[in-house]
Amino acid sequence: MPQHLHVSLKLKWIKGDEYEAEVTTRLTDSCYHFVSKRSGLPHGMVGIPEMAYVTVEYSHKGEICGQVVRDDTQKIDDIHSDGHPLGVTAFVTVNGEVAGSAHQPFPR
């Protein structure tokens, strides 16, 4: 099971009901590597239609890792508030397992 990671989520209004999600993850050593980002839930999870979801994926590889703490920020465009009154939940996965999450309601 991966170590729990601190995740924060910010939403930036673009226009109309369109937002950009900014997901920041505190990585605790040098063996974390960014894999991908996308709208939607992590594989195998089920959500509710009133919520929008984004996922940021990392891998953790290596036996000898430098204890370097750093923040990694990923931006995901084209998030829409229409039909999602409960806001956005961001999930961070490491090697396919959820390692952290954050939630942010859409600004009114």
**Type of residue found at 35:** V
CA atoms within 13 A on the CB side of 71: 8
> Considering only CA atoms, which of 47, 35, 37 is closest in space to residue 9?
37
Segment 13-67, tens digit of pLDDT: 999 999 999 999 999 999 999 999 999 999 999 999 999 999 999 999 988 999 9
Segment 77-97, tens digit of pLDDT: 999 999 999 999 999 999 999
DSSP state of 31: T
Q: Which residues pair with 93 in a beta bridge?
A: 57, 98
